[in-house]
Amino acid sequence: MTEILESNSEVRAVLSIFERGKAELGKIISGQTELIEQAILTFLCGGHALVEGVPGVAKTMTVKTLARFLALDFRRIQGTPDMMPADILGTSVFSLKTSEFTFHRGPVFTQFLLADEINRMPPRTQAALLESMEERQVTIDGETHALDDFFTVFATQNPLEFEGTYPLPEAQLDRFLIKIRVSYPSAGEERTVLERHHAKGDTPQFEAIEIAGVSAQDLVAARRELRAVRVEPALFDYLLAVVRRTREWPAITLGASPRAAANLLIVAKACAAKDGRDFLIPDDVKQAALPCLRHRIILKAEAELEGFDPDRVLADVLAATPLPK
């Protein structure tokens, strides 16, 4: 018990943000605990997330409410086939009054950006957004504009509707730290949704519900705690064994990249801190593997015909990888 208490003290800010976040977001979002936890995890890791789920399962509401809880600026863009890079990044406008070009910043200049239906954006616009995610800067007319240190992108896509869409290439998918799959709520959770809508009337104003946010100092402290999570040499070997096994697995035609290994380490450390530990164990790697790797592998056609999906294959990979001694 003493060791657990000491470990908790080393990740106090992380634990506080997760516990308070679930409580505050729970005032508005019924269920979707995994979505909430993985969204918080994405931000604390300093990455970006691809959120996949059918319409109406609270993807947008969760991200918007999380931005309120983290006390960060929030912008939302709706992906359409005619969207241009300038619609996201901004553009230089000539002023007749001053005879000079003035840069008008686009919605990407925020702290929390929700890109709804990113797969409806044309490839050129997707590339412009993903470049901003990777470099955390925007270059317009040869001038570089830095983005906020807290800049985080949550991009959503519908897994069932493909007409009029531009699927993200593998190289761009690899830029997302994790892929979050959002399922339907349970019967009890869905009943709570109905009760809340009934209590709020025909046009519920959930934005009016007060959310107790966190300070920027708490966010900085939490990120510092994540970086300090200890990793024993045997855990490096185990994590690499999982990643490298995906490259030789019979059902996989494209395995996880070295970037995927680095991202898996970051997410696993966040899982450890979320569970109250300042040291990594194999279960953290297992917990992080599916959200971190499911969008980074490509299955062979025959595996898909047999009903396999990335999560099932990754579960088999984890089961076949010996645990460190």
Lowest mean pLDDT among 160-164, 188-192, 229-233: 160-164
Total domains present in the chain: 2
More confident residue, 41 or 101: 41
Same domain, 116 and 137: yes
Same domain, 162 and 57: yes
Using the structure block, give the residue that is written with the tokens 């104003």: 205
Q: What is the pLDDT of residue 9?
A: 64
Q: For position 124, which CATH number holds?
A: 3.40.50.300
pLDDT(3) > 50: no
Q: What is the pLDDT of residues 255-287, one digit of tens each?
A: 999 999 999 999 999 999 999 999 999 999 999
Please compute the mean of the pLDDT values over residues 233-246 and round it to a whole number. 96
The rounded percent of the chain whose pLDDT value lies above 70 is: 94
Lowest mean pLDDT among 57-61, 288-292, 309-313: 57-61
Same domain, 142 and 102: yes
Q: What is the pLDDT of residue 204?
A: 56
Q: What is the pLDDT of residues 131-169, one digit of tens each?
A: 888 889 888 877 888 999 999 999 998 877 667 688 888
Residue 78 pLDDT grade (very low, low, confident, very high; cuts 50, 70, 90): very high
Q: What is the pLDDT of residue 8?
A: 58
How high does pLDDT run on average in the chain? 88
Residue 88 pLDDT grade (very low, low, confident, very high; cuts 50, 70, 90): very high
Residue 283 in any domain: the answer is yes
What is the spatial distance between Cα 44 and Cα 268, in angstroms, rounded to a whole number? 12
Token digits of residue 40: 């918080």
Look up the domain containing 119 and give its range. 16-220
Q: What is the pLDDT of residue 224?
A: 94
Same domain, 158 and 251: no
Q: What is the pLDDT of residue 5?
A: 38
Please compute the mean of the pLDDT values over residues 201-222 and round it to a whole number. 81
Q: What is the pLDDT of residue 168?
A: 85
How is the beta sheet containing 112-116 ordered, strand by strand? 74-78, 112-116, 152-157, 49-52, 178-181
Token digits of residue 265: 């380490």
Same domain, 123 and 143: yes
Residue 6 in any domain: the answer is no
Q: What is the pLDDT of residue 6?
A: 45
Same domain, 310 and 275: yes
174 burial level (CB within 10 Å; 0-12, 13-18, 19+): middle
Please compute the mean of the pLDDT values over residues 42-51 and round it to a whole number. 95
Domain limit, last residue, from 173, 199, 220: 220
pLDDT(7) > 50: no
Domain limit, last residue, from 155, 190, 220: 220
What is the spatial distance between Cα 311 and Cα 296, in angstroms, rounded to a whole number? 11
